[in-house]
Structure 1
Amino acid sequence: MIPSKREFPVHPLVAVGALIVEERKVLLVKRKNPPSSEMWTLPGGLVKVGERVHEALIREVLEECNIKIKPVKLLDVVDYIEKDSNAKIRFHYVIIDFQAQYLGGSLTPGSDVKDARWYLVHQLNEISIPQITRNFLNKFLPSILNKAC
């Protein structure tokens, strides 16, 4: 199997993620491809050359979920590093996560995700979420939900 350009990179790849909360529900996508395939994560993806991070965020959420958003606030920058069984770096992403506002559109999963759904906070413990995403949600979701009240 020939590795994708994302696997065993020569440098870290820059990605974006969107925390979108609407009516006390969180938007998550079920990943189709590694890393974290079959798990629920924030919508997002790679920044293209020449693309600003806000533009990448808007594009990726539209591609994955068929909805329009507005980036609101930078929340965090995290490293995702995964090694293979030989301790070689298989994936290395620098992920820039934003809070985003839902503007409209009918939620429909795009071709690069298996599913896209709104989840109530209490449902998050019932689904498979990568630890990096769970840590992020535990850190930022309470304050966002408190401001929404």
Structure 2
Amino acid sequence: MEAHYCLSCGQRLEIRNIGGENRKACPGCSFVFWGNYSIGVGALIMKDEKILLVRRRQDPGKGLWTNPGGYIEQYEPIEKTIVREVFEETGITTRVNGIIALGDLPRNVHNVYLVFLMDYVEGHPQPDKVEVDDAGFFSLNDMESMNVADLTHRLARIAFQQPSYGLISDPKPIPSLPGYGLYHVQRL
């Protein structure tokens, strides 16, 4: 969605050069429209040398097998988002281990996609029948005969290669900013 009016006071936005870029800004208050962004999360969950996949029941990607995932809610910490999304889609309980991939798709709505390596905790794959119509653990060999999304195929290979844990969550990122999350490289 393109913004034409100030989200703070309702005045029509004008174009101003801010930081060397033309941006929409409000002539009546300090509001600047920085753009449309969407943050998605994906999970790679391994169990018994297999990876958890779901078959999309709706577009985008209807009929494709993908790794579970979704989008963050406005006030939801990102680690809770991915645990929630996996549970909602599959009934599997997981725990975040680290971030092992980052996708970046700049376009009308700039999409950033964080892929988490997750620890399997418990549960049997049960599709939610809303977003996904099937779920299960599959080997790379199983995936060869399945209609797996290209990105998911690539991410599965990363998971099967026994990756490092990438970025891990800092348990005490910045005490003065409640709810702030920070990820850093794990020291070897």
- Please indicate the TM-score interval, normalised by the length of the shorter structure: 0.7 to 0.9
The alpha-carbon deviation at position 136 of structure 1 amounts to 2.0
The alpha-carbon deviation at position 107 of structure 1 amounts to 1.7
Total equivalences in the alignment:
128
> Given the alignment of the two structures, is residue 141 of structure 1 paired with residue 141 of structure 2, yes or no?
no
**Aligned structure 1 segments of 4 or more residues deviating by more than 4 angstroms:** none
Aligned residue type for 1:75: I
Superposed, which structure 2 residues align to 1:49-128 within 5 Å? 49-80=74-105, 93-110=111-128, 111-128=130-147
1:17 is paired with a residue whose SS is strand
Alignment correspondent of 2:148: 129
The alpha-carbon deviation at position 50 of structure 1 amounts to 0.6
- Is the contact between residue 140 and residue 156 of structure 2 (CA under 8 Å) also seen in structure 1? no
1:58 is paired with a residue whose SS is helix
> Given the alignment of the two structures, is residue 41 of structure 1 paired with residue 66 of structure 2, yes or no?
yes
Higher-Rg member (1/2): 2
Query: Which structure has more RCO (C-alpha within 8 Å, separation ≥ 6)?
Result: 1
The alpha-carbon deviation at position 133 of structure 1 amounts to 1.7
Q: 1:16 aligns with which of 41, 53, 65?
A: 41
- Is the contact between residue 65 and residue 149 of structure 2 (CA under 8 Å) also seen in structure 1? yes
Following the alignment from structure 2 to structure 1, what is the Cα–Cα distance between the partners of residues 91 and 105? 26
CA RMSD of aligned residues (A): 1.9
Q: 1:25 aligns with which of 44, 50, 65?
A: 50
Aligned residue type for 1:101: D
Of Structure 1 and Structure 2, the greater helix share is in 1
Aligned residue type for 1:52: P
The unaligned stretches of length 5 or more in structure 2 are 1-34, 164-188
Q: 1:80 to 1:31 in 2, by over 3 A?
A: farther
Following the alignment from structure 1 to structure 2, what is the Cα–Cα distance between the partners of residues 30 and 80? 23
2:79 is paired with a residue whose SS is helix
Give % identity: 27
